[in-house]
Amino acid sequence: MFLCFSAFCQKNNVADLLIPEPVSVTSGTGDFIINNKTIIYVSSSDTSAKRVGEFLKERLSFVTGNAIPVKGISMKKTDENNIRLSLIKDATIGDEGYKLNVTRHEITIAANKPAGLFYGMQTLFQLMPKEIEEKQFKKDIKWDIPVCSITDYPRFGWRGLMFDVSRHFFTKDDVEQFIDQMVKYKYNLLHLHLTDDEGWRIEIKGLPRLTEVGAWNVKKVGYFGTFSPPTPDEPRNYGGFYTQDDIREIVKYAKDRFVNILPEIDVPGHSLAAVVSYPDLSCTPGADQYHVSSGEPIMDWSHGQPPIAMIDNTLCPANEKVYEFLDTVMTQVAQLFPFEYIHVGGDECPKNFWEKSDSVKALMQREGLKNMDEVQSYFEKRLEKIVESKGKKFMGWDEILQGGLAPNAAVMSWRGIDGGIAAAKMKHEVVMSPTDFAYLDYMQGDPIIEPHVYATLLLHKAYDFEPVPDGVDPKYILGGQGNLWTEQVYNMRHMEYMLWPRAMAIAEAVWTPKDKRNQWNDFATRVENQFPRFDEAQVKYAPSMYDPVFAVSKTDSNHIKIELSTQIEGLHIYYSFDNSFPDNFYPKYTSPLIPPKDAVMLKVITYRGNKPIGRMISMPIEELQKRADNNK
C-alpha cells in the first residue's frame, strides 16, 4: 500500500489525512502558512465559541513558538494569515457540523453552534503537520495547511466510548487524558462504568463505606478471573475513588470539550462492592463475610448466561432497604452529572441465590411474578421510577428486556444487535455497542502475541460496525459506542494500546455517512497516516493490523494446513520452520503451508517492500494442531 506524507500528498489527497471521513472534501492548490503574523478572530461573543478560540490559540502558540493572539470580530478584508471562527445559520450542518475553508490567505471555520467550531478545529489539526501533536516546542517546522474546502456533520448524536474505571481504578487526570484523546476523533459521549464487583468509584454522601471499603481490593497480576483468592494477610490497598469534587471537575473538563458523561451504577448484578460495604443489601445470609473481588473466580460461566454466582454479588430485589439505598445514590449521581441519562447496568445478573431466598419467593407471590426474569424486571421498573424522579432518563444493558421492559427505558445493546432490534421495534431508544464490533477490550490480533483476553476483534471487523440494523427505524437508534472493559487493563499505556486504532473505526461508524463507509483500503491508509501523529503525541497504539491472520484446518490426510492472510493490502509474509528468524530473504508465503514432519515452530513476519512492518510472530506447531483439532 502506497503511503505519502509529503507536502505534495497533503495538497492533493486531503481526505487521506482525516478520520472520521468528512461528508465532503474538495482539495485545492497551495497552502496556508501559520507564522508570527497569524491572528485568530472569533466572530461571536458566545463564551463557548471564545473558549474554542482559546484552545486553538493555546495549541498553535505552543507548537509554533509564536504568540498568536485571539481577537474579536474583524470585518477588515485586507487582513491576511487569519483564522476566523464564526457562528452562522445553516440548516444543512446541524448543531455539531461545520464548514472549514482553507485558502492561501485565510482559514475560516463556520458552524451553527460552538461544538461545530470545536470539531472543525479537530479537523484543522489533522490537516497540519504531525508535529502539532508534540508535547514540546520544535524549531524549523513549516506550519503549512493544504488549501481545501470541507463540509461536515455527524451521522449520529450519540458517539460514545465506555471507560471501565471499576475493574481497575484510573485517576481524575487519567480520565481527562482519555477525554483529550477521544475528542480528536469527534466522540462526544464518555460512558463511565463507575461500580462493579471489583470497586465502587464514586463518593456518596451518607454512605461512607462504599468508598472506605468498597473501593479497595488486593492487587493481583495475571489473568483476571483465575486469580487465587486473597489471603487475610494481603493488604486491601489497591483501588481508589472519585470525590464529588473530582466528579465536578471531570464533568466540567468534559463539558468544555463538548463531551457529555453517562454515569453507570451497575445493579442488581455486578454489585459485590456495594454488598461488601453494606451486607444488608443482600438476600443472602453470610454476606458480611464477603470481600470486594480482586479478580478471583466468583462466577461460573460454564452454563452460559446468566452465570451461576459462587457468592451472591446481587442486590436483593425484595428488600426495601435496597430501594432506599438506590434512591440516595441516584439522587447524588443525578446532581453530579448533568447528562439526561443514567445507566443502571442490569447485565449478567445471576439469580441462583434469589431462587433460594424466602423473601424473593414471597415477593413473587405478592406481585404475581412467574420467574426470575420477571423478578429482575420488577426491580428495573422500580429503579426506573427512582431515576425518573430525579429528572433523568433510564438506560440499561439489553438484559433489561427480559421479563418485560420498563416503560420508558433506553437499551444499550451489547450481546450482538438482537436486543437493540427488539427494543427499537418496541419504540424504545437504543444505543448499539455489540461485542461483535465494538468491544475494545478484545484481542486485536492473534492470541499467540496479544495480551490474553477471551475473544478477538480485528480492526477490519470493527470497521464493519453498522449501528442501524436492516429493518429498524433509524429514528430509534441514538447512535453507537465502543466499550473498553479493564479487567486486563492496569494502566493508561495499555489502555491506549487497546483503544487505538480500533476506536478510529468506531468513530467513523458513528460520524461518517453510511454511503462513504465501504472502503476498507481507504480507511486503512488513513489509519496509517494517523500513526506518526500518535508517535509525536507519545500515545501508544496497537500495530496488530500489520500482523498475519492464521487460519488452520486439516487436510484429507490429516495434516495441518496453514493459511495466512493480512488485513491490509500490499504486504508480503515471510516464514520459517527451522526456528530461525525470517526476513525478506526467506520463503515468501504464496499458498497454504504444511509443516515439515518434525517442525516445532512456525515463525512469520510481514514486510512492505523491503521494510519489515509487522511483528515477528512465533507460533508453536502444537498450538496450530490444537486449533486444527478444534476446527473439525
In the residue annotation, 131 being an active-site residue is answered as: no
Catalytic position from the list 168, 191, 193, 270: 270
Q: Which residues pair with 260 in a beta bridge?
A: 189
Contact indicator for 451, 494 with CB cutoff of 8 Å:
yes
Rounded to whole angstroms, the Cα distance separating 624 from 451 reads: 18
Catalytic position from the list 152, 196, 264, 266: 196
Q: Which residues pair with 42 in a beta bridge?
A: 85
Rg (Cα) of the chain, in Å, rounded?
27
Catalytic position from the list 348, 380, 384, 528: 348
Alpha helices (H) along 2-46: 7-12
Q: Which residues pair with 85 in a beta bridge?
A: 42, 109
Rounded to whole angstroms, the Cα distance separating 333 from 421 reads: 29
Q: At what angle do helices 502-511 and 520-537 cross, to 10 degrees?
A: 120
Residues 6+ apart with CB under 8 A from 288: 279
Q: How do beta strands 393-397 and 341-345 pair? A: parallel
Contact indicator for 588, 574 with CB cutoff of 8 Å:
yes
Rounded to whole angstroms, the Cα distance separating 283 from 315 reads: 7
Residues counted in the chain = 632
In the residue annotation, 450 being an active-site residue is answered as: no
What is the CA angle 91-95-96, rounded to 5? 120
In the chain, what is the straight-line distance between the N-terminal and C-terminal CA atoms, in Å?
35
In the residue annotation, 196 being an active-site residue is answered as: yes
Contact indicator for 409, 382 with CB cutoff of 8 Å:
no
Residues 6+ apart with CB under 8 A from 374: 364, 403, 404
Tell me which residues are annotated as active site. Answer: 196, 270, 348
